[in-house]
Amino acid sequence: MNSWKSWNVCLLAVVLLSGCTTEPQESDVDTSRPTEFGYQTTPRTVRLQEGKAAYEFYCIGCHGENGLGDGPAARMLNPAPRNFQKAKFKFISTRFAELPTDEDLFRTISTGLRGSSMPSWGHLPAQTRWALVEYIKTFSDIWKRPPTPSIPFVTDPYVEMKDKSEAIKRGEVAYHGFFSCWNCHPAYVSEEKISEYSQELGGPPRSGLRDNLNQSAIKKDEEDKTIFAPDFLRDYVKAGTSVDILYRSIAAGITGTAMPTWIDAAASGPEDEEGNKLVTQADIWAIAYYVQDLIKKREVMISPDDIVVRTNREMRIGESGMEYTAELPVVATEEFIEDE
Ligand code: HEC
Ligand code: HEC
């Protein structure tokens, strides 16, 4: 090939490559995003600058300079701060292992994660929190994927009912029957009852279930750290305790842990002989009311002032599963049902 030809090829390649990688123009208006505080019209580079500055001031100590979850404090934390390069997020409204929506990240940054070391940043201006969302997404190319749809928020059949006992009862049946949440979370009824509930929802009789059925199972998380599925009578739930949030956590699942998406399983659940559905997506609302009811009954095992000991309650992993090393005294129930 003579030299002018190869020059032309080079030039073509440069033009094509730069065409492929051209960033959106600064003046681009992104209409998919919230308009709060003019967020939508602020040029992306300005938002990223603000996000970077806030990140390096508030987040870097735990999440690390490059978002690897390896800040100086990380060594002491379990669960570990999220690794933003892996881009696996737990409290999402999309399906298991999918990327969250911007609103999901914004909500978690705003509320924090109770019982973990992730603080609430709700005191920062909304514009700064949106800028943080934008900046976090620069740590991984996974964000170049097209966005995935959120799970359906089916109508809550119990929302108008003043007395939620019907929802709670149905939730108890669904939790222990078809959905078998006791595979990881504790069972709150006897093995015989579980078998009865299973058959009521078109499943098999049940017996010989796992050891320590009334305690949480031990699992490993994404960072290979030991994690417990919360016991709703004892432990914190992280994302919040309103039924809407519980519905979302249960329906979508919790990426990076063992907890799967339930909304699709519920849609293709069993039917009776006449073709009536024995399980529906609306049952996830019933489970959310049931779980919230358990949380309301939660007894604080030690003084609420002693929060550090409370979140790291004394336990060890014995031969037969999780064992509590100390029977901690029970004090008054702490009221913490938010958003109500
Ligand atoms: C004191 C340590 C600490 C600081 C400071 C901190 N985080 Fe976190 N963050 C954590 C921990 C720990 C987790 C993981 C919690 C878990 O997995 O339960 C987390 C998780 C997250 C998640 C993941 C949420 C999900 O759905 O998986 C996001 C997003 C996040 N942090 C954003 C931020 C931002 C933005 C800042 C700064 C404004 C910040 N964090 C500051 C400790 C911290
Ligand atoms: C295969 C194991 C597994 C199954 C089955 C499972 N979960 Fe979980 N679940 C977990 C783990 C592990 C966590 C802890 C996640 C964390 O703290 O990061 C969790 C957390 C939760 C949370 C707390 C979310 C928060 O904000 O902290 C709720 C609520 C929940 N599960 C409800 C359910 C319900 C209801 C079912 C049955 C429909 C279910 N889970 C089935 C493993 C499981």
* DSSP structure string for 38-58: GTTTS-HHHHHHHHHHHIIII
Q: Is 36-144 CATH 2.160.10?
A: no
When pLDDT is cut at 50, 70 and 90, the band that residue 30 belongs to is low
Query: Where do the domains of the chain lie?
Result: 36-144, 165-298
- Ligand 2 pocket test, candidate residues 107, 175, 259, most atoms within 8 A of CB: 259
Say if residues 298 and 333 touch (Cβ distance below 8 Å). yes
Give pLDDT, residue 208.
92
Find residue 215's DSSP bridge partners.
none
Q: Check if 107 has its Cβ closer than 6 Å to any atom of ligand 1.
A: no
For residue 184, report the distance from its CA to the centre of ligand 2, in Å.
7
Tell me the average pLDDT of the chain: 82
Ligand 1 lined by 74 (C-beta under 6 Å): no
Q: Please indicate whether residue 89, judged by its CB atom, sits closer than 6 Å to ligand 1.
A: yes
pLDDT tens digits along 265-280: 999 999 999 999 999 9
Across residues 36-43, what is the average pLDDT? 76
- pLDDT tens-digit readout, 156-166: 999 999 999 99
Any ligand 1 atom below 6 A from CB of 39: no
Q: Identify the band that residue 325 occupies on the pLDDT scale cut at 50, 70 and 90.
A: very low
pLDDT per position as a tens digit, 69-117 = 999 999 888 889 999 999 999 999 999 889 999 999 999 999 999 888 9
pLDDT attached to residue 327: 40
The CA distance from 265 to 201, in Å, is 13
The pTM is what?
A: 0.83
CB neighbour list of residue 3: distance below 8 Å, 6 or more residues apart: none
Lookup: tokens for 281 = 């997506």
Is 5 a residue whose pLDDT tops 90? no
Residue nearest to atom 2 of ligand 1 (CA): 62
Residue nearest to atom 18 of ligand 2 (CA): 257
Report the separation in Å between the CA atom of 47 and the middle of ligand 1, taken as the mean of its atom positions: 20
| Ligand with smallest separation from the Cα of 251 | 2
The pLDDT value given to residue 299:
56
What is the DSSP-derived secondary structure letter of residue 77?
-
